[in-house]
């Protein structure tokens, strides 16, 4: 997601007024063009002209709308809760009951120490609240790192006691891969082919996604950001008159 314009209003600091996801543009101002001032109309025209450059890109992550289900909180929600005056109430809102009970009686320093130790194993539960993935914690590698794939694939090759947890974790966090029944070789091949074009998303369900545009252009997804995702000049159609 590429954010162009924030704003000061009654929404949270994460809200944005104008942003792009793939070939879609969100222009979050209520007024019709006739009701806008010159700056507002210019912003609208510039936004339309900008999004017209992104015919190849597409939205990638699957995010649950809060109007139809429980969207998972991102991990940083815990840190935002620590900084709020109503920290207790907000922690209860973002954490599952077990984690809230664990943190409720801790000092601020102890809470931050807990977060530094546990953050890499947090994920959204069925209610969208943050919980510890006990299986990932026992495996010992954060699922949102490249080291996770390396250790999990090595476990599959060894067929040791960690092979079954590795299979479940790979299927859980990389659903676009060969699946829980995939062989070590198929997972290793998939990782070699797609590793540079994968990214991890908390809000998109705590999982890895494959970036089709990055793979098509053979550019690592970490380097293909913002306006770099626009159509290449030779792929743009001539303007009509």
Each residue's pLDDT, cut to its tens digit, for the chain (241 residues) gives 899 887 667 777 678 899 999 999 999 888 999 999 999 999 999 999 999 999 999 999 988 887 888 889 999 999 999 998 889 999 999 999 999 999 988 999 999 999 999 999 999 998 899 999 999 999 999 999 999 999 999 999 987 666 789 999 999 999 999 999 999 999 999 999 999 999 999 989 999 999 999 999 999 999 999 999 999 886 655 444 4
| Cα-only R_g, the chain | 21
The whole model's pTM is what? 0.88
Cα dihedral 78, 80, 83, 87 sign? negative
* C-alpha–C-alpha distance, residues 151 and 192, integer Å: 14
């Amino acid at each position: 997601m590429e954010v162009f314009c924030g704003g000061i209003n009654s929404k949270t600091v994460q809200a944005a007024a104008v942003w792009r996801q793939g070939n879609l543009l969100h222009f979050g101002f209520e007024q019709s063009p006739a009701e806008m001032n010159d700056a507002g109309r210019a912003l609208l025209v510039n936004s339309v002209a900008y999004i017209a450059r992104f015919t190849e890109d597409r939205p990638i992550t699957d995010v649950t709308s809060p109007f139809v289900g429980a969207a998972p909180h991102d991990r940083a929600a815990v840190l935002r809760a620590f900084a709020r005056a109503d920290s207790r109430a907000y922690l209860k809102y973002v954490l599952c009951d077990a984690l809230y009970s664990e943190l409720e009686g801790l000092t601020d320093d102890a809470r931050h120490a807990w977060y530094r130790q546990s953050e890499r194993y947090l994920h959204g539960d069925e209610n969208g609240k943050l919980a510890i993935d006990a299986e990932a914690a026992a495996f010992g590698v954060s699922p949102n790192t490249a080291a996770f794939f390396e250790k999990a694939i090595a476990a599959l090759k060894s067929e040791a006691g960690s092979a079954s947890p590795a299979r479940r974790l790979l299927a859980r966090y990389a659903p676009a891969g060969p699946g829980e029944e995939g062989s070590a070789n198929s997972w290793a091949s998939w990782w070699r082919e797609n590793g540079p074009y994968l990214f991890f998303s908390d809000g998109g369900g705590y999982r890895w996604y494959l970036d089709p545009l990055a793979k098509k252009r053979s550019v690592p997804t970490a380097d293909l950001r913002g306006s770099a995702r626009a159509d290449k000049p030779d792929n743009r159609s001539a303007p009509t008159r």
